Amino acid sequence: MDQRRLRDFNAYLFVSILVLLGFGAAMVYSTMIGNNYTGAVWSLDSPFVKHLIWVALGLSAMLALTLIDYQNLRLLARPLYLVTLLLLGYT
């Protein structure tokens, strides 16, 4: 990261996101335990582990996208808009 991006990093927002993700994970875990979930909590097919996998994927995507200068996406704005409209029409 260059100095400008490091200086503009919003630590409060990042910590808030981590707190909300932790709260969500706690809710998924407590729902599993409260509903007498019969499977293993740490197996790959449990809702808790699936949630943690999606959290990890989301955090890594968020951190990867912070490295990209969004001003460079101007050239892709119209094609992405057209693709979005086509997908919307498809559904």
Q: Write the pLDDT tens digit of every residue in 30-87.
A: 988 877 777 777 888 888 999 999 999 999 998 888 888 778 888 889 999 999 999 9
Q: Which of 50, 57, 61 is nearest to 28 (CA)?
A: 50
Q: How far apart, in whole angstroms, are the C-alpha atoms of residue 33 and residue 27?
A: 10
For 3-22, the pLDDT digits (tens) are: 666 677 788 999 999 999 99
Q: Look at the alpha carbons of 41, 26, 17, 19 in this order and tell me if their dihedral is positive or negative.
A: negative
pLDDT of residue 11: 87
pLDDT of residue 50: 93
